[in-house]
C-alpha cells in the first residue's frame, strides 16, 4: 500500500524529516507515536502534499505509484485521505456540498458517473447514524462553529463516505471525551479491510485501546527510532519517550 | 507553483466578453454645450418641460466639480471629447418585432447569453435590451400590458406617460444631487421606465441588459421605477461590455419610488470590461442609485453583484420616509487586477419604526482595491429605527486592499444600530483542506468564495443567482462556481 524510503523533508530552512523509511502493507493498521514536535504531523502533511513542505530526498510509493509526483488533489483522488488534527472552517459552504464534491471527484477519477442525489443522501445518512451525528450537520457550513469533537467526527464521516485506500489520521483522538472517542474508533474500525490501510498519528495509548494496531512506530527528531507490535505502545505509556531518546543520543 | 502563484494564475485569465459588434453608429459629434442638450431632447421629441429640466441640470452642472472623496484614482475625464448621443442605424423608425431587429445585434445578445426569443419566455423574463443608447427590442409587452404594468424604454415613456414622468422624475435624485447625476440629468439618452399600478403584483421579473458599444460613447441611462400603493415588482439589471483600450464613462441614474405597502426588489449583476491586468482600458462606472420608501410599510431592496468596471463609484441607497418602511442592501463587490471599487449604501431613516439591513461582501484580488463606504443616518423623527450592518472583506493574494468607511449618525435615542465587520484572507488551510478532499484548486476557490458570498446570492432571484455566479466566475476567471 505505502512504501516510504529514506524520506527527507524541510519547511523553510528547518529540516523536519530526516530519513524516514516505513512500509504499510494492505490490510494493516499502523500507529505513529512520538513526543511533541517529532515530525508526526509533518509526515502526514508531506504524504498529503501540503504546500510549504518540501521533499529533499527519498521516495514514496503509494499503490505502486510515485506519490510525490502527484498534486495534492490527485493524491486524494488516488485514495489517500488525511484526517486533519485541526479541521479548518469554511463558512457558507455546506458540509453536504463539500462531501458530494469530494465523492464525485473520487468517482470521476475512477471513471464512475456522478453520484445520484438520492443515493448520495442515503449513503451519507447511513454513515451519520454510525457516527451518531445529527442530520442538521449536513446543512451547516463546513466545520463552522463546530466543537472540537464535532470537527473530529466530521473528519471520520468524510472518511467513511470517501472510503479511501489509505487513511492518515492525525491526532484524531485529541480533544475527544471518552464517549466520542469510542464513536470515532468504531468509525475507523468499520473501515478496516484487506484492501485498505490506516495510519494513526497519536500521542496516547488510549486510542489504541479501541483501535488495535498491527504495528507501532516511534518517531522523534524526524526519524523512526523504533518499530514494534502493539506492546510497544503499552511500553511507551508506561515509560514515556525519554528512554528511547536517551538511547538515540548515546 | 506555490498556492499563491496558482491563485494568481487562476484569477488572471482574460475577459471573455470582449468583442465589438460592427454596426454603423448615428452619433452626435463629441462635445457638450446647451445646443447638444437641446439636440438630444429634439431627437427624442421631448416635451418642453423635459427640455427645460435638462437645461437646468446642464447649467447647474457647469457650477459643479467632480467629487474627490472616494478612495479611487481617476484619470482626468475630458467631457468635451465624449459623444453624448449614439444610436444604432435602423432602416425604419424602429423595430416593431424581433424580425426587424438587426441580426448582428441579435448575434451580440446571443454571445452574451441574453435570453431573447423563446429562451426569454421560458425563463419568464421580459427583456428590454439597450444597445448603446437606444432600446432595440422589448419583449412580453402584451403580458405586462394585460396586468397594467408599464415597462418600456424611457424615450417611449416620454410620449406614452409624460404625466408620470413629470410627477416623479428627479424627485428622489434631484438634478442638483451630485456631479455625475447632474450630468446624466442633462444628457441622459435612454433607459427603462416601469410603472406598477395600485395593488398589482408584476407577473414576471423585469430585466434589462445594458451594453456599451460605440467607441468614445458615454452612456447615460436613466431608469425610473414607480411601485404604486400595494404593488410589487422585481427588476433585474445585468450588463457586460466589449473590450476597449480607452476608458469609457458611464454615469447612470436609477430612481425607485415605493408608495404605501409597495415593494421593489432591484437586482444588479454588473460585468463591464474592467481593463486589462495592467489597468489599461475599462469602464468608469459612476452611478447614482436611490430609492425612496415614500409610503407606509413599503420596502426597497437592492442586491448587487459588481464584478466589472475599472472604477466603480456606486451607493444604492434608501430614503425610509414612510413609517415602518424597510430598506435593504446586499452587495458582492469584486476588485481584481487594477480594479478600484468604492461602493456601499446610505440608509436614511426618517419615518418611525423604519428598519434597514446592510450586508456587504468585498473581494479583493490581484492589485484590486475594494472600499465599503456606508452611511446610516437616523433622523430625530425616526423613533424606534433599527439598522443592522455586516461588512466582510476577503483578500486573495498579497497586493490587494480592502477598506471600510462606515458612517453612523444617530439623532434619535430610541434607535438601535448594529455594525459587524471582518477582514479575512482565503487561507491556504482552507484551500489545502479542499484539495485533500480531491477537489481541484479552481473548484476549491470557487467553493470558498461562493460560501463567502452566500448570504448575498440567496437574495437574488433564482435564475439570476446562477448567472451572478457565472459572471463572478468570469471576473475572478473561474474562481467562483
Instruction: Give the tens place of pLDDT for each residue, B200-217.
Output: 999 888 876 544 444 434
B427 in contact with A, Cβ within 8 Å: yes
In angstroms, the CA B297 to CA B322 distance is 7
- Name every chain B residue with its beta carbon within 8 A of the beta carbon of A158: 437
Place of cell 472623496: B69
Is B231 in contact with B197 (CB distance < 8 Å)?
Answer: yes
The span from the CA of A139 to the CA of B477, in Å, is 28
H/E stretch holding B459: none
> Is residue B430 less than 8 Å (CB to CB) from chain A?
yes
What residues of chain B lie within 8 A of the CB of A105, using their CB?
Answer: 437-440, 443
> In B, which residues are within 8 Å of A142 by CB distance?
433, 451
pLDDT at position B134: 46
Domain ranges of chain A: 2-249
pLDDT at A229: 93
Q: Is B77 on the interface with A (CB under 8 A)?
A: no
Q: Which of B444, B472, B479 is nearest to B456 (CA)?
A: B472
Binary contact (A92, B432; C-beta < 8 A): no
B434 touches chain A (CB under 8 A): yes
Provide, as residue numbers in chain A, all residues whose Cβ is less than 8 Å from the Cβ of B453. Answer: 92
Residue A250 pLDDT: 40
Q: Which residues of A touch B (CB under 8 A)?
A: 48-52, 71-73, 75-77, 81-82, 84, 87-88, 90-93, 97-98, 101-102, 105-106, 109, 141-142, 158, 162
Q: Which of A51, A84, A141 sits opposite B433 (nearest CB)?
A: A84
- Could you give phi then psi for residue B442, rounded to 5 degrees? -65, -45
CA distances from B238 to B6, B101, B185, B201, B268 (A): 30, 20, 22, 22, 6
The topology (CATH level 3) of A2-249 is Rossmann fold (3.40.50)
Q: Is B239 on the interface with A (CB under 8 A)?
A: no
Which of A91, A22, A20 lies closest to A53, judged by CA? A20
Nearest to B430 among A48, A50, A90 (CB): A90
> Could you give the CA distance from residue B452 to residue B346 in angstroms, rounded to a whole number?
23
Instruction: Give which of A11, A90, A110 to mutate to test B binding, by max B Cβ within 10 Å.
Output: A90
Question: Quick one: closest CA in A to B441, which residue?
Answer: A73
Contact list in A for residue B443 (CB cut-off 8 A) is: 101, 105
For residue B270, the model assigns a pLDDT of 79
Mutation site, B332, B426, B437, B441, interface A, largest A CB count within 10 A: B437
What is the per-residue DSSP string for B401-414? Answer: EEEEEEEEEE--TT
Question: Which of the residues A93, A141, A156 would you substitute to probe the B interface, choosing the one with the greatest number of B C-beta atoms within 10 Å?
Answer: A93
Q: Which of B280, B282, B288, B285 is nearest to B177 (CA)?
A: B288
Residue B449 forms contact with A (CB below 8 Å): no
What's the whole-model pTM score?
0.79
**Both ends of chain A: CA-CA distance in Å?**
34
Mark yes or no for CB contact B438/A77 under 8 Å. yes
- CA-based nearest residue to B15, from B274, B270, B213: B274
| Under 8 Å between Cβ of A71 and A105 | no
Chain A contact for B439 (CB, 8 A cutoff) = yes
Contact criterion met (CB < 8 Å) for A98 and B439? yes
Q: Tell me, what's the ipTM? A: 0.95
- Residues of chain B with pLDDT below 70 are 1-26, 87-141, 208-218, 239-247, 463, 466-481
pLDDT at B373: 94
B453 and A101: CB-CB below 8 Å? no
Question: Which of A71, A72, A88 has its CB closest to that of B427?
Answer: A88
Nearest CB to A101: which of B2, B443, B452?
A: B443
User: A72–B436: do the CB atoms touch at under 8 Å?
Assistant: yes
Between chains, do B439 and A72 touch, taking CB under 8 Å as contact? no
Q: What pLDDT sits at residue B273? A: 77
Could you say which of A76, A81, A97 has the minimum Cβ distance to residue B435? A76
CB contact under 8 A, B437 and A87: no
The whole-angstrom distance between B407's CA and the closest CA on chain A is 27
CB contact under 8 A, B438 and A50: no
Give A-chain residues touching B429 at CB under 8 angstroms. Answer: 88
First to last CA, chain B: 23
Which residues of chain A register pLDDT less than 70?
A: 247-250
pLDDT value for A85: 93
* Number of A–B residue contacts, CB under 8 Å: 79
- Nearest C-alpha of chain A: how many angstroms from B332? 14
B428: closest chain A residue by CA: A51
- Residues of chain B found within 8 Å of residue A48, distances taken between Cβ atoms: 432, 436
Distance from CA of B453 to the nearest CA of A (A): 8
Q: What is the pLDDT at residue B123?
A: 35
State the Cα–Cα distance between residues B307 and B436, nearest whole angstrom.
30
Per-residue cell: A1? 500500500
Q: Which residues contact B39 (CB under 8 A, 6 or more apart)?
A: B28, B85
Q: Is B5 on the interface with A (CB under 8 A)?
A: no
Interface contact B425, partner A, CB < 8 A: no
pLDDT score, position B145: 85
Amino acid at each position: 500500500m505505502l512504501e516510504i524510503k529514506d524520506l527527507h523533508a524541510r519547511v523553510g530552512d528547518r529540516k523536519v524529516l530526516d530519513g524516514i523509511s516505513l512500509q504499510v502493507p494492505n490490510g494493516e493498521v499502523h500507529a505513529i507515536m512520538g513526543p511533541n514536535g517529532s515530525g508526526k504531523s509533518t509526515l502526514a502533511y508531506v504524504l498529503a502534499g501540503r504546500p510549504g513542505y518540501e521533499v529533499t530526498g527519498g521516495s514514496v510509493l503509494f499503490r505502486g505509484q510515485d506519490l510525490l509526483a502527484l498534486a495534492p488533489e490527485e493524491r486524494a483522488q488516488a485514495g489517500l485521505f488525511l484526517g486533519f488534527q485541526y479541521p479548518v472552517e469554511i463558512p457558507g459552504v455546506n458540509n453536504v456540498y463539500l462531501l458530494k464534491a469530494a465523492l464525485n471527484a473520487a468517482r470521476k477519477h475512477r471513471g464512475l458517473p456522478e453520484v445520484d442525489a438520492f443515493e448520495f443522501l442515503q449513503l451519507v445518512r447511513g454513515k451519520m447514524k454510525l457516527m451518531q451525528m445529527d442530520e442538521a450537520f449536513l446543512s451547516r457550513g463546513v466545520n463552522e462553529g463546530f466543537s472540537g469533537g464535532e470537527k473530529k467526527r466530521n473528519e471520520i464521516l468524510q472518511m467513511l463516505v470517501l472510503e479511501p485506500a489509505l487513511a492518515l489520521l492525525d491526532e484524531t483522538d485529541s480533544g475527544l471525551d471518552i464517549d466520542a472517542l469510542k464513536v470515532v474508533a468504531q468509525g475507523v474500525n468499520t473501515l478496516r479491510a484487506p484492501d485498505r490501510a490506516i495510519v494513526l498519528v497519536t500521542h496516547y495509548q488510549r486510542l489504541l485501546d479501541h483501535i488495535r494496531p498491527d504495528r507501532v512506530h516511534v518517531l522523534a527528531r524526524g526519524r523512526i527510532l523504533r518499530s514494534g507490535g502493539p506492546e510497544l505502545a503499552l511500553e511507551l505509556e508506561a515509560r514515556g519517550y525519554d528512554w528511547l531518546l536517551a538511547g538515540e543520543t548515546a | 507553483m506555490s498556492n499563491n502563484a496558482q491563485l494568481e494564475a487562476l484569477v488572471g485569465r482574460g475577459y471573455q466578453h470582449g468583442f465589438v459588434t460592427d454596426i454603423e453608429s448615428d452619433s452626435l459629434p463629441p462635445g457638450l454645450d446647451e445646443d447638444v442638450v437641446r439636440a438630444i431632447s429634439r431627437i427624442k421629441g421631448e416635451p418642453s418641460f423635459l427640455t427645460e429640466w435638462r437645461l437646468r441640470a446642464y447649467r447647474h452642472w457647469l457650477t459643479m466639480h467632480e467629487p474627490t472623496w472616494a478612495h479611487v484614482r481617476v484619470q482626468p475625464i475630458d467631457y468635451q471629447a465624449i459623444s453624448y448621443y449614439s444610436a444604432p442605424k435602423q432602416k425604419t423608425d424602429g423595430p416593431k418585432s424581433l424580425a426587424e431587429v438587426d441580426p448582428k445585434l441579435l448575434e451580440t445578445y446571443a454571445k452574451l447569453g441574453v435570453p431573447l426569443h423563446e429562451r426569454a419566455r421560458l425563463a419568464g423574463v421580459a427583456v428590454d435590451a439597450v444597445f448603446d443608447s437606444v432600446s432595440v427590442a422589448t419583449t412580453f409587452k402584451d403580458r405586462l400590458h394585460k396586468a397594467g404594468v408599464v415597462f418600456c424604454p424611457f424615450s417611449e415613456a416620454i410620449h406614452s406617460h409624460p404625466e408620470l414622468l413629470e410627477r416623479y422624475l428627479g424627485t428622489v435624485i434631484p438634478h442638483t444631487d451630485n456631479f455625475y447625476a447632474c450630468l446624466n440629468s442633462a444628457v441622459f439618452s435612454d433607459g427603462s421606465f416601469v410603472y406598477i399600478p395600485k395593488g398589482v403584483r408584476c407577473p414576471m421579473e423585469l430585466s434589462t441588459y445594458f451594453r456599451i458599444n460605440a467607441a468614445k460613447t458615454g452612456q447615460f441611462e436613466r431608469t425610473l421605477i414607480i411601485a404604486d400603493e400595494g404593488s410589487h415588482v422585481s427588476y433585474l439589471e445585468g450588463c457586460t461590455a466589449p473590450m476597449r483600450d480607452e476608458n469609457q464613462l458611464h454615469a447612470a441614474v436609477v430612481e425607485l419610488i415605493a408608495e404605501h405597502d409597495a415593494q421593489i426588489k432591484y437586482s444588479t449583476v454588473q460585468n463591464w470590461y474592467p481593463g486589462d491586468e495592467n489597468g489599461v482600458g475599462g469602464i468608469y462606472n459612476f452611478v447614482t442609485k436611490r430609492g425612496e420608501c415614500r409610503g407606509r410599510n413599503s420596502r426597497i431592496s437592492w442586491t448587487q453583484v459588481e464584478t466589472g468596471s475599472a472604477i466603480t463609484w456606486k451607493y444604492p441607497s434608501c430614503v425610509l420616509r414612510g413609517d415602518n418602511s424597510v430598506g435593504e442592501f446586499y452587495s458582492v463587490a469584486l476588485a481584481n487586477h487594477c480594479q478600484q471599487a468604492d461602493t456601499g449604501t446610505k440608509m436614511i431613516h426618517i419615518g418611525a419604526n423604519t428598519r434597514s439591513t446592510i450586508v456587504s461582501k468585498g473581494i479583493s484580488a490581484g492589485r484590486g482595491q475594494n472600499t465599503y463606504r456606508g452611511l446610516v443616518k437616523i433622523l430625530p423623527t425616526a423613533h424606534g429605527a433599527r439598522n443592522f450592518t455586516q461588512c466582510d472583506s476577503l483578500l486573495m493574494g498579497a497586493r490587494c486592499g480592502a477598506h471600510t468607511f462606515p458612517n453612523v449618525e444617530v439623532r434619535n435615542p430610541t434607535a438601535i444600530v448594529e455594525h459587524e465587520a471582518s477582514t479575512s484572507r482565503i487561507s491556504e488551510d482552507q484551500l489545502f483542506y479542499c484539495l485533500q478532499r480531491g477537489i481541484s484548486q479552481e473548484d476549491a476557490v470557487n467553493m470558498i468564495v461562493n460560501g463567502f458570498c452566500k448570504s448575498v446570492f440567496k437574495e437574488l432571484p433564482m435564475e439570476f443567482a446562477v448567472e451572478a455566479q457565472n459572471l463572478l466566475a468570469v471576473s475572478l476567471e473561474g474562481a467562483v462556481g
